[in-house]
Structure formats: C-alpha cells, structure tokens
Structure 1
Amino acid sequence: MREAIWFRSDLRMLDNPALFHACKSDDAPVAVFFACYETWDNHNWAPIKVDFLWRNLKSLQQDLSDNGIELEVRLVPKFSQVPGALRQFCREHEVKRVHINAEYALDEKRRDAAVEAVLSNDDIELMTYHGNLLVAPGQVRTQQGDYYKKFTPFNRRWRQVISELGQNAPLKITPYTMVKAKGLPELPFKSKDSSDWSAGEQEALGKLGQFVGHSVSKYKSARDIPAESGTSKLSAYLALGVVGPQTAARALHQFSPEFPFGLPSGADTWLTELAWREFYQHLMYFVPRLSKGESFQAETDSIQWLDDSDAFQRWCEGRTGYPIVDAGMRQLTSTGWMHNRLRMITANFLVKDLLVDWRKGEAFFMQHLIDGSFPANNGGWQWSASVGTDAVPYFRVFNPVKQSEKFDPEGEYIRKWVHELKEVPTKYIHWPHSWLQQQSSNNYCEPVVEHKFARERFLTTFKQVKNG
C-alpha cells in the first residue's frame, strides 16, 4: 500500500509526525504540496511571505529527494479545488493513505473535512497529527472540561501537560534511495524578494542553535528594545513550519532537567512566547467566529469606528507624526518584518488613537509580514484592540511618546527608519515638532491627532459599548 504526505505549513523533515509515519513502510512515500495562490491572496498573504515559502519549498524538495522522497508541487488556485486534486494525485500514485499535520483556522478545517469526505469514497485514509503544536487542542482543559479563555492559566496548564507528556526523541526518518528533484512550477503570484532571510531547514536549525546558545539568556530584557537584535527572528520559520515547535522546545531542555519548569528567565520568557503561539491556535480551533472577522468579545463588534481613510493611509505609510509609530510602519513595509514591541505600539495607535477598525490593521499586517500567521496576528490585534480573549483592558491606552522614551531611549531605532529625523537631538527625538519648527527646513509630517484628545475619544466610545 502506497503512503503519501501532503505538506502544508510543515515544510521540514525533522520532528514532522506526518512525514515520520508516512515513512514507516519499506517503500518510499510520495509527497505533494498544493500552491493555492488565489486562496492565499484572499487570506491576505504577503508577497514576501509567498516568496519565502517558495524558497523554503525548493529547499525542502531537495532535502526530500536526497532522502529518496519525491515532492510534487502542483498549482491548485483555491482550497475548494484541493479535494479533487488530492484524489487525482492519489489515483495516479495508487496511494491508500495520506498523512497530514492539522491546521486549525476555519477555512483550513473545512478544506480538510472536504478532503476526508472525497478520499473516503476511494477508500483512502486521511491520517491527521498535531505536528504544528506541542500540545493538541483539547489536551489543555479547565477543571470544568472547557478550553481556556485566559492566557495565564492556559500557560500554566499547558506546561503541566508538556511535563506529563515527557520529552520525545527527535522524529527522524531513515533515508531511501536518492531520487532527482523535480523542480518547482512558475507561481502566478506577485512576490517580493525575501533573500534577506536565508531559506531551508538547515538554516532555520542553525538560527535556532545560535539563538538558544548565545542570545536566549538576554531575551527577557533585550526583546523589548527594537534597536537591538534581541529577538529570535524564528517567527517566519515557525509560521511555515520550517522549524517545528518540538524542535524549538527541545533546544530549551538543556537549561533545566525539570523542563518546562525551572528554566532561567530568558529561556522561560521565550517558552512563554511559544505558549502564546499555541494559545491563539487553540482559540482558532474552538472559536470559529475568530476566523470570520468577528471579535471574541461579541458585544465589541458594535463599536462605532471612524471611517477615516486619510488617517489610515498615514498610518500605513508611517506618516502619523509620532516618530516611534512611523518607524515601526516603515520597517514593516520596507522589510516585511516588525519588532514585536512595535507591533503592539502601532496596533494600539491605530485602534485607540485613530479609532480605526482593528480588522483593517490586521489585514494590512498580513499583507506585509513575512511571518504572517493568521492565528497569532488575529490574536495580537484583538488583544491590542481590547476586543479579544484575555485582552489588554480597554482603558489601557499606550502613550506612544512614553513608549518611545522607554524602549528607544536614544532614538536609534527612530533614526534608522525615519530619515527626516536623523539630525534631531536625542532630547527631542520622541516628540520633535517644537524643535523642527525652529529649523530652516522640516519635511517631517505634523501629528495626525493629539494623543490626549484621542485617548478620551476612545474611552468614551468603548464605554458606551461596555455599558450597553
């Protein structure tokens, strides 16, 4: 009986349970990837993310062929066409069992249910694993048997489950006889060069080793300073599954024999970031409306947002007149990545200072981020907008100037991305307008809104909804 693996957001060989189980027979399995470029477009995938995916797919195809497994990449524009395309693939290769790693957003779940129904008509089994998470949805439950709606108790229980499950040996396959890689088809999707990010599983594993070996000890303090390279920069690899969460977690085992407990602060903080990633995927699984552009707190969908296209455009282009906000947005549109502290600052500013619907910002981030992950991005935006589960309280409105002073005290990050402010003295860099007015030339924009006024406007608007 021929086995197959259908790759999706799991573009790796190590710690890939779907691949591992597909390789249990004596004969090499066949592998397939469907490039659903029209659905990606509908899901707001960034051109730079698609380019990065394509480069990682090429690397995976070579790695697989070196191990005797042929990966076919087929252009199938929409998710709705995948069930028929996979059935055709199985018929061509006489496949009787297909192995996949689960995905949890609504469109993906519906696609997989349709696939299972179509394959069952041909007596083909669909075997599903949870290779994209450390702990599968349903394994982390409250005492009442419900899913967690708050992160802190989720994180606590999630760690207990990891401890109970114990440390697994790395999932590695035994190579088959080497075959020739087929190459990739031409992708009809606009792309943006991602070559600043090295592609391939070995590159990702190298970055993981470098981070855990040299930087994770400073992670707790360094991760909030955007001028420093204090984050792991692994999010783009995790989003495509080029490195798996099992591999990332195993790298932290060295710091504590009681893993996931007893970790030093830097490693513990990074594990908490992995927990946030899983929390948002669990929520996607249990709360389908999150996949439909709806808030977790249903009553907040009645907020009267401002339809201010000019303010939104200025935010998109990094022309708000708030230096730290503009620096973040320019980093995003230029590089396809933004420092996490800046994601919070810019999101908070759009929603709470400009009173623009968070869904517009959510879509804009996805359209530009190389590490765009729908569950994490949606969760982050709902958190910032105070409409999600466990969200920041609505009355907590970031003051962008104070955030700037705290996290970019010397203005290094601002000067790197907002070139109009390169000559501004540090004393004025966070709010340069009075200093700039004294200069003969000034090409930096005026503030789009006054923060104090905007804060009161947001609180008044939100209270009306909260008080019903």
Structure 2
Amino acid sequence: MKKAIWFRSDLRTLDNEALYLATQSEVAPEAIFLVCEDTWQCHHWAPIKQDFLWRTLEVLNEKLAALGIKLHIKNIGKFSKAGGALREFCKTHNINKLYFNAEYALDEKNRDRAVTAVLENDGVEVSKHHGNLLIKPGMVKTQQGEYYKKFTPFNKRWRAILAQETDVTPLKPNPFPNINPEPLPNVSLKAQDSSDYPASEEAALSKLGQFVGHSVEVYQAGRDRPDQNHTSELSAYLAIGAISPVTAARALQQFSPEFPYGLPEGPDTWLTELAWREFYQHLIDFEPRLSKGESFQRETDSIQWRDDEKGFIAWSEGKTGYPIVDAGMRQLNETGWMHNRLRMITANFLVKDLLIDWRKGEAYFMQNLIDGSFPANNGGWQWSASVGTDAVPYFRVFNPVRQSEKFDPQGAYIRKWVKELDSVPDKHIHWPHEWLKNMSNTEYYPPIVEHKAARERFLTTFKQVKHG
C-alpha cells in the first residue's frame, strides 16, 4: 500500500505541503492530475490559461520523474466525475492515503467533499492541506471569532499570525530513484498559445529572484504605472500554483529581521498585495454565495443594470473612444494579461460609465486572463463595482481621462496598444478627439458615452438602491 498526491492548482515541487508529506515514506508516491475541461469552460477558464497550465504540467512531469514520482493524467471532463476517477486510480495503484492542497471556491469544495466521501468509504485516508496560502482560512478571525469583512484589520491580524510562523525552512520533497518520464497523453484543450510566458516552476522562481533583486524596492512608486515595468509578473504562476505564496513571502525576509514588520516601502506594499490575495481566498471560503454570482452587499443585487450589448462589445474590443480603456482591453485581448491599474480603470468604466452588470465583465476577464483566479477576479470586480466587501465607495467614479493623465502621463502605454493614436501629441493623447478632427483623422473611435452624464446616471441608480 502507498500514498498519492492529487495535483490541482499547485503545480510545483517546492513549498508544496501535500507533496512534501506524501514523500515522507519509503515508497515513492503516485501523482495524478485530473483534466476537467467541461468544468473549466463553465468556470470561464481562458484558453491561454489552459495552454499555460498544460505546458507547466509537461515540465512538472519531468521534474517529478527525476524525483522518482510518476504523474498520471486523466481527462474526466467534469468535477462530478472526480470521485469515480480517483476511486479507480487508488484501487489500481493500491493507494491507502491521498494528499491534496485545498481550494476554496464552492464547486471545488463540493468536489472535494464528494471525493473524500467516496474514498473514505473504500478505506482510503484523505489528507487535506492548505499549501496554497500563507495562513489558512479560519486562523484570521476577529476577537468575536468571526471572519474579517474589511481588509485593513484582516491585514493587521494576518501579519501578526505570519510573524509567529518561525519555521521558514523550504519544504522540499524527499527524492526517490529517478524514473523515465512518460509523455503526457494527448488532450484536446481549447488552448491559445501562451509561449510568451515561460512555463515552469524554475521560470517562476527566476522571475521572483529578478523582481526581489531589482524591482521590489521601487514597487510602491511604480506599480500603478502601466508604461513602466515594475510588476512581479508572477500572477500567472500563482494562479496555477507554479510558485507558492510561501516562497514569495520568504524572499522578502531579507529586507527586515522583524519580518513581516519593518519592511521598506516597496517590499511592504508587495506583501500587502499577497495579503489581498489571501483576503479574497478567505472570503470565498466563508461566503459560498460569492461563488454563485451574488454581490457581497446583498442590496446591490437589485440594481437595474443596462442591457447594452453594443456598449459591452465596444468595451471588450477596446473601441470605446477612451484611449486608456481601449489600451487596457487590447492588451488583455492580445496578451492574456492586463496591468492591475488598468483592470481597475476598465472595470470601473464598464460598471459606472456604461452601467453594465459587473458579472459580465468578471466573466470576460476570466475568459481571457492567463492569471485568471476566481477569488481574486471576483473580489476585484466587486471592489470596482462598489458591491463587494470593503469596496471602493460607490460615489468614487474614476474619470478615465484623469486616470490616463496620472498613470500614463506621456501616453506611452496608450500608443503601444492603440496604434491609431501613434501620431497624436502628448498633450492630446488622453483625449485626442478634437486634435484628430482638426487633422481630418477618422481612424480612431468616437467616445461611446459622455463621462459626466454617465457618472450622474450611475450615482442616481446606486443611490436608489442604497438609500431607497
């Protein structure tokens, strides 16, 4: 009898709690990954994310073989078939204990409960761990024993708990005599080329090293500038678990002996971003209704959103006539990634300028993002739409032109993605329509909405819900 690890969103060997524990025996464990393309499609997984995941699996397959662990791939289509597939797998390979790292969205939790019931009925022990978070859900609570609904107190308590985690030794699986890796089976995923993103745990660790060594100290100053490269570029790797947040946080310890306190501004701000990631994971765990398309602020589910398919298409294709919005959407469509400041600007525009349901934008992002992660994406959209917990106040409506002037002052980002505006001078780049008209240039799109009027429309609609 032996052990097995069920890989999901944890495609790595370093700081993988479930894998580490599964290798604490005299016999090499088996490993399995279940391809669930039907469920992934229901969850709006982007084709580029599926391709990135598959390429990462190919590298993981070789790395596990070097550790003496065979990776099995089963294409089961749907989560609902996981119990039967794992039951057969455990019987075939004489598995008496299965390890996995938890996922927190509702469908994933229901899948895991069903799998656990099936396997335990067969006498297979199921061991669940929390290897994809720094602090597991349930540990960060108020003095009243409730979960935090506001980020700032959550972050304070989260850091206090993190400070008590004194064991910083990296978790590395025990190696066994190496085996020859077998090619992965052919699986016809709806994939989009992700080759611009190196796919491996080593690539993620290299990006982390580059970021911590060269960029993190100016992260606070430059993180909102899409025309500059001050981001970690780790979001896609975190989304599929090619790197652990534990590994990421450990890299910041060099900046302060009192970690997570006493950090310089840049590393401290990046640690806060990791805390936001965990905050949304905890929220999804404690509030299953968020996985059902509900707003955290229940009263906002009665908002009468506009049915504006023409406006939605213009937004999704980057043809709104607002250069900064169009640049962001075109970057997303072309690369599968968008700068975080642009995610806020484009989301704010869809919801507050066009009065279109935030759920449509949430789904569109997931359908196109290489780093699509349901908790973070859902949390970000609810924040931008002012319907979530600790969300931006509803009366704070981004002016896309002001945002553009502030965060892309010379228009370098706009010119990169909106080629029609290549020749527009800096002083006109953020609102080029008068200049284009004078130049008889009709290549670019006219604005689909007048911001001031749209803002008033949104505020009126929201006030009716908030104040009756």
* TM-score, normalised relative to structure 2: 0.99
Cα distance in 2 for partners of 1:34, 1:396 equals 43
Question: By how many angstroms is 1:180 displaced?
Answer: 1.4
The 3-state SS of whatever aligns with 2:25 is coil
Question: By how many angstroms is 1:126 displaced?
Answer: 0.7
**Aligned residue for 1:433?**
433
**Aligned residue for 1:420?**
420
C-alpha RMSD of matched pairs (Å): 0.6
Aligned 8 A contact 2:51 2:189 in 1:
no
- Residue 356 of structure 1 pairs with residue 353 of structure 2: no
Cα distance in 1 for partners of 2:228, 2:156 equals 30
**Aligned residue for 2:223?**
223
Q: Which amino acid aligns with 1:31?
A: A
Aligned 8 A contact 1:49 1:372 in 2:
yes
Question: By how many angstroms is 1:440 displaced?
Answer: 2.9
1:273-307, Cα deviation, whole Å (9 max, x unpaired):
00000000000000000000000000000000000
Give the % identical residues: 67
Aligned 8 A contact 1:72 1:182 in 2:
no
**Aligned residue for 1:304?**
304
**Aligned residue for 1:2?**
2
Question: By how many angstroms is 1:10 displaced?
Answer: 0.2
Question: By how many angstroms is 1:174 displaced?
Answer: 2.2
The 3-state SS of whatever aligns with 1:272 is helix
Aligned 8 A contact 2:133 2:278 in 1:
yes
Aligned 8 A contact 1:323 1:418 in 2:
yes
Cα distance in 2 for partners of 1:274, 1:107 equals 24
**Aligned residue for 1:79?**
79
Cα distance in 2 for partners of 1:137, 1:341 equals 28
Q: Which amino acid aligns with 1:187?
A: V
Q: Which amino acid aligns with 2:378?
A: N
The 3-state SS of whatever aligns with 1:142 is coil
Q: Which amino acid aligns with 1:76?
A: I
Q: Which amino acid aligns with 2:415?
A: R
Q: Which amino acid aligns with 2:344?
A: M
The 3-state SS of whatever aligns with 1:33 is strand
Cα distance in 2 for partners of 1:437, 1:167 equals 64
Question: By how many angstroms is 1:222 displaced?
Answer: 1.0
Question: By how many angstroms is 1:441 displaced?
Answer: 2.9
The 3-state SS of whatever aligns with 1:96 is strand
**Aligned residue for 1:160?**
160
Question: By how many angstroms is 1:194 displaced?
Answer: 0.3
Cα distance in 1 for partners of 2:168, 2:130 equals 14
Aligned 8 A contact 2:4 2:95 in 1:
yes
Aligned 8 A contact 2:150 2:389 in 1:
yes
Question: By how many angstroms is 1:165 displaced?
Answer: 2.1
Aligned 8 A contact 2:20 2:174 in 1:
no
Cα distance in 1 for partners of 2:276, 2:393 equals 18
The 3-state SS of whatever aligns with 1:71 is strand
The 3-state SS of whatever aligns with 2:251 is helix
Aligned 8 A contact 2:281 2:375 in 1:
yes
Question: By how many angstroms is 1:203 displaced?
Answer: 1.0
Farther off after superposition, 88-97 or 170-179: 170-179
Which structure 2 residues correspond to residues 251-290 of structure 1 after superposition, within 5 A? 251-290=251-290
Aligned 8 A contact 2:320 2:326 in 1:
yes
The 3-state SS of whatever aligns with 2:6 is strand
- Residue 93 of structure 1 pairs with residue 82 of structure 2: no
Question: By how many angstroms is 1:183 displaced?
Answer: 1.6
Question: By how many angstroms is 1:161 displaced?
Answer: 0.5
**Aligned residue for 2:149?**
149
Q: Which amino acid aligns with 1:21?
A: L
1:61-97, Cα deviation, whole Å (9 max, x unpaired):
1000011000011111000000000000000000000
Change (3 A) 1:376 1:168: same
The number of equivalent residue pairs is: 468
Question: By how many angstroms is 1:362 displaced?
Answer: 0.1
Q: Which amino acid aligns with 1:275?
A: A
**Aligned residue for 2:131?**
131
Cα distance in 2 for partners of 1:404, 1:455 equals 17
**Aligned residue for 1:233?**
233
Question: By how many angstroms is 1:164 displaced?
Answer: 1.5
Question: By how many angstroms is 1:345 displaced?
Answer: 0.2
Aligned 8 A contact 2:219 2:267 in 1:
yes
Cα distance in 1 for partners of 2:163, 2:387 equals 32
Which structure 2 residues correspond to residues 207-222 of structure 1 after superposition, within 5 A? 207-222=207-222
Aligned 8 A contact 1:137 1:282 in 2:
yes
**Aligned residue for 2:341?**
341
Cα distance in 2 for partners of 1:9, 1:422 equals 41
Cα distance in 2 for partners of 1:180, 1:72 equals 13
Cα distance in 2 for partners of 1:359, 1:245 equals 28
Aligned 8 A contact 2:397 2:455 in 1:
yes
The 3-state SS of whatever aligns with 1:281 is helix
- Residue 467 of structure 1 pairs with residue 464 of structure 2: no
Aligned 8 A contact 1:37 1:188 in 2:
no
The 3-state SS of whatever aligns with 1:348 is helix
Cα distance in 2 for partners of 1:143, 1:121 equals 38
Cα distance in 2 for partners of 1:118, 1:131 equals 23
The 3-state SS of whatever aligns with 1:442 is coil
The 3-state SS of whatever aligns with 1:107 is helix
Q: Which amino acid aligns with 1:86?
A: L
Cα distance in 2 for partners of 1:75, 1:39 equals 11
Q: Which amino acid aligns with 1:136?
A: K
Which structure 2 residues correspond to residues 42-121 of structure 1 after superposition, within 5 A? 42-121=42-121
Cα distance in 2 for partners of 1:128, 1:262 equals 34
Q: Which amino acid aligns with 1:107?
A: D
1:226-283, Cα deviation, whole Å (9 max, x unpaired):
0111100000000000000110010000001111011000000000000000000000
Q: Which amino acid aligns with 2:360?
A: K
Cα distance in 2 for partners of 1:164, 1:150 equals 22
Cα distance in 2 for partners of 1:105, 1:249 equals 23
